[in-house]
Amino acid sequence: MRQRLFPGDHPDVALSLFHIGKNFHYLKRYQEALLIDEHALQMRQRLFSGDHRDVADSLDNIGTTYYNLKRYKEALPMQQQALQMRQRLLPSDHPDVIDSIKKYEQTLLLSQ
């Protein structure tokens, strides 16, 4: 529906894609989640140049999906990018930064 209302790249469409990807993830339909998450990330990167929380959230979603698929080597760079972006954007004690650190460390251990 939003894609018909807002043709091309639009923050509302990117947000809808983000939530659809999360829903597929919760349903453990990881391959479908990955496709939607990648589409949301690409759109958000076109919409928001430089560091942006929405881009970091999309990177984190993709990293989490790869992690759940046990594709740790692919999860690691996504989680690292999300962590680094969040560290630049947020205070070090922000819950999203702390969550990103935990995810990155856990994935790093499993990827070796």
Answer yes or no: is pLDDT of 1 > 50. no
Predicted TM-score of the model (pTM): 0.91
Give the C-alpha separation, 29 to 25, whole Å.
Answer: 6
Residue 18 exposed, middle or buried by CB count within 10 Å (0-12, 13-18, 19+): buried
The pLDDT tens digits for 46-92 are: 999 899 999 999 999 999 999 999 999 999 999 999 999 999 999 99
Give the C-alpha separation, 49 to 100, whole Å.
Answer: 21
So what's the pLDDT on residue 9?
83
The pLDDT tens digits for 24-49 are: 999 999 999 999 999 999 999 999 98
